[in-house]
């Protein structure tokens, strides 16, 4: 993809950069959660409901990996924007649309998570370079370390969004054009997979709280009865 072809993607790249920054660095208001980020990307693509729909699927996966301190976790901000853009571009009911978009978003989340890990090592190098000035009590050195960290994180998330979108859009279109399975099967597989990961994540939450598993079982019974009635 040429640079000129990337220009129409600029709003999505900016969105991915801003929401990727929210994951760790600033302001951690959880605008980077898939249910928010994918909806925003879908809205930007003219399909907010499509964005929300894939955001819900990705949120099931995100329930599993919370941003605990120095642990390594997927970067959902830019990944969910990528998922929202891809799914928001196609017609409702296209076979494989959600399956392939979720797959690409999950891969993007993994790549984004690795880039956050590398950024943390870079931040340490920047802090080491400023260590002598900071030890002498330089307020500007403390500010410089902080601003460099924030700026590189913003650029990192923008680059992840841009590079993956540039590669993913043609791949996505080709995959959907040659997808031979029915929409029934493809949607059932991706929603089943997302639900399984989400259920396992909530089961893990219940392990640390006495009695919580009974609340989960009760909730599931209520949830299934509501879903059954709506069906």
Partner 1 sequence: MTDLSPRLPVRTWLAVVSRLFAMQGAFNYETMIGNGIAFAMEPALRRLPGGPRGSAYAAALGRHSGYFNAHPYLASVAVGALMRAELDGVPAAQIDRFRVAAAGPLGSVGDRLVWAGWLPLCSAVALLAYGLGAAPLTVLLLFLGAYNVLHVGLRVWGLYVGWTHGLRVARALDAWILRRGPAHMGRATALVAGVALPVAAHGIIGPGRAMLGTVLAGVAVGAAIVTALRGKAEGWQIAIIGLLGFTLYGVAP
Residues 39-78 that bind partner 1 (CB under 8 A): 39-40, 42-43, 48-49, 51-54, 56-57, 59-70, 74
Between 20 and 48, CB nearer to partner 1: 48
Kindly state the smallest distance separating residue 166's Cβ from partner 1, in Å. 20
Does residue 217 belong to the site contacting partner 1 (CB under 8 A)?
yes
Residue 69 CA to residue 24 CA, distance in Å, equals 9
Residue among 112, 84, 110, 106 nearest 17 (CA): 112
Binding flag, residue 10, partner 1 (CB under 8 A): no
Q: Do 101 and 172 contact (CB within 8 A), yes or no?
A: yes
Give long-range contacts, CB 8 A cutoff, 24+ apart: 25-33.
Answer: 25/149, 25/150, 25/153, 25/154, 26/150, 26/153, 28/67, 31/77, 32/76, 32/77, 32/80, 33/59, 33/62, 33/76, 33/80
Among 142, 155, 163, 166, binds partner 1 (CB under 8 A): 142
Size of the site for partner 1 (CB under 8 A): 120
- Which of residues 8 and 68 has its CB atom nearest to partner 1 in the complex? 68
The residue among 10 and 221 lying less far from partner 1, judged by its C-beta, is: 221
Cis upstream peptide for 2 (omega within 30°): no
Contact 66, 23 (CB under 8 A): no
Q: Which stretch binds partner 1 (CB under 8 A): 5-13, 104-112, 157-165?
A: 104-112
Provide, rounded to whole angstroms, the least separation between the CB of residue 3 and partner 1.
Answer: 29
DSSP category for residue 8: G
Q: Is 185 in the site for partner 1 (CB under 8 A)?
A: yes
Quick check: 146 binds partner 1 (CB under 8 A)? yes
CB nearer to partner 1: pick between 26 and 155: 26
């Amino acid at each position: 993809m040429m640079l000129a072809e990337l220009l129409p993607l600029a709003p999505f790249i900016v969105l991915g950069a801003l929401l990727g920054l929210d994951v760790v660095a600033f302001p951690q208001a959880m605008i980077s959660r898939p249910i928010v980020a994918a909806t925003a990307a879908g809205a930007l693509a003219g399909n907010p409901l499509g964005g929300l729909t894939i955001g819900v699927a990705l949120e099931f996966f995100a329930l599993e990996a919370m941003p605990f301190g120095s642990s390594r976790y997927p970067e959902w901000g830019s990944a969910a924007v990528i998922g929202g853009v891809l799914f928001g571009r196609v017609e409702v009911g296209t076979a494989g649309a959600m399956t392939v978009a979720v797959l690409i978003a999950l891969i993007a989340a993994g790549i984004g998570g690795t880039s956050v890990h590398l950024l943390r090592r870079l931040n340490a190098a920047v802090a080491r370079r400023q260590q002598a000035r900071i030890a002498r009590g330089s307020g500007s050195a403390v500010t410089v370390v902080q601003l460099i960290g924030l700026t590189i994180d913003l650029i990192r998330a923008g680059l992840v969004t841009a590079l993956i979108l540039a590669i993913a859009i043609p791949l996505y279109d080709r995959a959907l054009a040659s997808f031979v399975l029915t929409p029934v099967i493809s949607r059932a597989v991706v929603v089943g997979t997302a639900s399984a990961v989400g259920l396992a994540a909530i089961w893990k939450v219940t392990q640390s709280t006495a009695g919580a598993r009974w609340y989960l079982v009760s909730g599931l019974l209520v949830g299934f009865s509501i879903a059954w009635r709506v069906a």
